[in-house]
Amino acid sequence: MHKTAGEAVQLVRELRQKLDRAAAQVAVAPPFTALAAVKQALQGSAIQLFGQNCHHEKQGAFTGEVSAPMLKDAGCDGVILGHSERRQLFGETDEGVARKLKAALGEGLHPIVCVGETLQEREAGRTWDVVSRQVRAAVAGLDTGAVQKITIAYEPVWAIGTGRNATAAQAQEVHGQIRGLLREIGGAAAADAVRIQYGGSVKPDNAAELLGQADVDGALVGGASLKAEDFAKIVEAAR
């Protein structure tokens, strides 16, 4: 919940100056109220537009919600689903995230599905139990072709907005396990096609090491994305 429409447009203009020739694929996910303005500001740019969330129904009496068709109509290329803040603060469930995922795929949106454990779960040795449950629930019932169209973001809850980030080795361990689970669920094609991002206090000074891991395919950037210079440095580290 950052940036008015005008502030978001200013940030995007700064990003365009720094990122339009970036080697990595880049997307921004402003608040719903800024989507239309940011879409206009991105015209002619390779930077994609994502929503931060969506409802699983196409329409209905769901005051305050935004549907996948509405995001598509606003010009979105994709949507973030199951972010830890949505799970922790707003009670979103694995089943609910799965329903939203199907809705997003049905509209041709690229879903980024977030998974990750709390500090209590990590200290209890339950990291993989939690992450594997969340991944399995998200892709349940999807065929291999559909699985290949999603991105998974591993974001340990204890590392989000805390200044603490998982070490490169910790991130790689979980990413490698997720890759193995995708191979088990959807075969080698799915395991190779799905991008697995890391999210959790990604900053310019740790991005290169994190992104250099074998199974870390990208980053879901939070606070550092609010400053064009910091975000551009993270994108540069993805080369």
Cα gap 13→31, rounded to integer Å: 16
Which residues are annotated as catalytic? 83, 155
Cα gap 62→87, rounded to integer Å: 18
Burial class from Cβ neighbours inside 10 Å (0-12, 13-18, 19+) for residue 60 reads: exposed
| Phi, psi (deg, nearest 5) at residue 108 | 75, 20
Cα gap 3→124, rounded to integer Å: 37
Task: Give the chain's length.
Answer: 239
Strands, sheet with 218-219, edge to edge from the N-terminal-most edge strand: 27-28, 48-51, 78-81, 110-115, 151-154, 195-198, 218-219
β-bridge mates for residue 48, sequence order: 27
- In 54-129, DSSP assigns E strands to 78-81, 110-115
Q: How many whole angstroms from its chain centre is CA 91?
A: 18
Identify residue 239 by its one-letter amino acid code. R
SS3 164: coil
